[in-house]
Structure 1
Amino acid sequence: MTREVNCKVECVNGCILGDDCPHREYAKEAKRFMNDTSLDKMLEMAEAARLKKLTEPPKWVIPDDI
């Protein structure tokens, strides 16, 4: 039986399910990315994302109760 876990809350200090974690596939992908991508490349990607975010038009949220 798999235990329901809110990973965002309960696993902030590391996975509490270990090998039973349903997100192990994503951890492998993340580890592969970290090993295969240089820090300079990661910083370049982050800067590109930041600049894209700055150039996007603002997104307005209009409350329903107006």
Structure 2
Amino acid sequence: MNNCAETCVNGCILGDKCPHLEYAQAARKFLEETSVDRMIEISEARFLPKQPEDQGSQFEG
């Protein structure tokens, strides 16, 4: 198997035989459907403190 990070720097060399084709398609779809502003929001959210998923459950009882 090829190391895509090294071998395919200038584009996939395997074409339709690429084992990662589905991921490339998903990435293309994301880029086509997502605005730059939304991508920035996603990126910024990555570095925010995590919010507790269920804030009320720790006080129940």
Same fold per superposition (TM over 0.5):
yes
How many residue pairs match? The answer is 50
Give the distance between the partners of 2:4 and 2:25, measured in 1 at CA.
16
Q: CA deviation at 1:13?
A: 1.3
Match of 2:59 in 1: none
Gaps of 5+ in 2: 51-61
> Do residues 5 (structure 1) and 2 (structure 2) align?
yes
Give the TM-score, by structure 2 length.
0.71
When the two structures are superposed, what TM-score results if normalisation uses the length of structure 1? 0.66
Q: Which residue of the partner structure matches residue 46 of structure 1? A: 43
CA RMSD of aligned residues (A): 1.6
Aligned to 2:34: 37
Aligned residues with identical type, % of pairs: 52
Shift of 1:23: 0.6
Q: Which has the higher contact order (CA 8 A, sep 6+)?
A: 1
The structure having more radius of gyration, on CA atoms, is 2
Report the Cα distance in structure 2 between the residues aligned to 1:15 and 1:42, rounded to whole angstroms.
24
The runs of at least 4 aligned residues of structure 1 exceeding 2 Å deviation read none
CA distance in 2 between counterparts of 1:46 and 1:14 reads 25
Q: Which residue of 1 aligns with 2:20?
A: 23
Unpaired runs of 5+ in structure 1? Answer: 57-66
